[in-house]
Amino acid sequence: MNNSDFTCGHFVNPFTDIGFKIIFGQPASKELLITLLNELLKGEHCIENLTFLDKENHSDNMDDAGIIYDLYCLTTTGEYIIVEMQNRLHSNFLDRTLFYMCRAIGRQVENIREKRKKEQELRSENSVCDGEDGFVLSEPKPDKYGARYKLSKVYGIFLMNFCEPDLEEKFRTDAVIADMENGKVINGKFRQIFLQFPYFKKELRDCETLYDKLIYTLKNMQHWNRMPDALKEQVFNRLEELASVANLSLEDRIAYDKALDRYRVSRIVEEDAREAGWKKGLEEGRAEGLIAGRAEGLIEGRAEGRAEGHAEGHAEGHAEGLLEGKKSVVSKLNAFGLSIEQIQEATGLTEKDIKDLLV
Under 8 Å between Cβ of 69 and 100: yes
Instruction: Give me the amino acid identity at 157.
Output: I
d(CA 87, CA 129): 63
Under 8 Å between Cβ of 333 and 284: no
Q: Where are the beta strands (DSSP E) in 299-358?
A: none
d(CA 208, CA 212): 7
Closest to 33 in 3D by CA, of 69, 72, 67: 72
Closest to 270 in 3D by CA, of 162, 129, 185, 136: 162
pLDDT the model gives residue 57: 53
The Cα-based distances of 163 to 68, 88, 166, 200, 265 in angstroms read 23, 9, 9, 11, 18
pLDDT the model gives residue 50: 95
The stretches in the chain having pLDDT less than 70 are 1-9, 55-69, 111-121, 123-144, 265-290, 292-323, 325, 336, 345-346
Give the three-state DSSP class for 60. Answer: strand
Closest to 162 in 3D by CA, of 200, 214, 193, 112: 200
pTM metric for this prediction = 0.65
Long-range contacts, 294-301 (Cβ 8 Å, 24+): 294/322, 294/325, 294/326, 294/329, 295/325, 296/321, 296/324, 296/325, 296/328, 297/321, 297/322, 297/323, 297/324, 297/325, 297/326, 298/322, 298/325, 300/324, 300/325
- Ramachandran region of residue 63, left (φ > 0), alpha (ψ -120 to 50) or beta? left
pLDDT the model gives residue 47: 96
pLDDT the model gives residue 285: 65
Under 8 Å between Cβ of 167 and 196: yes
Q: pLDDT tens digit string along 285-332? A: 666 666 766 666 556 655 554 555 555 554 555 556 566 767 777 787
pLDDT the model gives residue 93: 94
Q: Where are the beta strands (DSSP E) in the chain?
A: 50-52, 56-62, 65-68, 71-75, 80-86, 128-129, 135-136, 154-160, 172-178, 185-196
First to last CA, the chain: 35
pLDDT the model gives residue 137: 44
Closest to 106 in 3D by CA, of 151, 167, 47: 151
pLDDT the model gives residue 343: 78
- Ramachandran region of residue 309, left (φ > 0), alpha (ψ -120 to 50) or beta? left
Under 8 Å between Cβ of 155 and 80: yes
Looking at residue 257, the DSSP 8-state letter turns out to be: H
pLDDT the model gives residue 280: 63
d(CA 106, CA 185): 20
What is the domain partition of the chain in residue ranges? 3-111+148-272, 285-358
**Buried-exposed string 139-153: b where 16+ CB fall within 10 A, e elsewhere:** eeeeeeeeeeeebeb
The Cα-based distances of 272 to 5, 267, 278, 320, 321 in angstroms read 14, 9, 10, 42, 39
pLDDT the model gives residue 231: 93
Contacts of 175 (CB under 8 A, 6+ apart): 191, 192, 193, 194
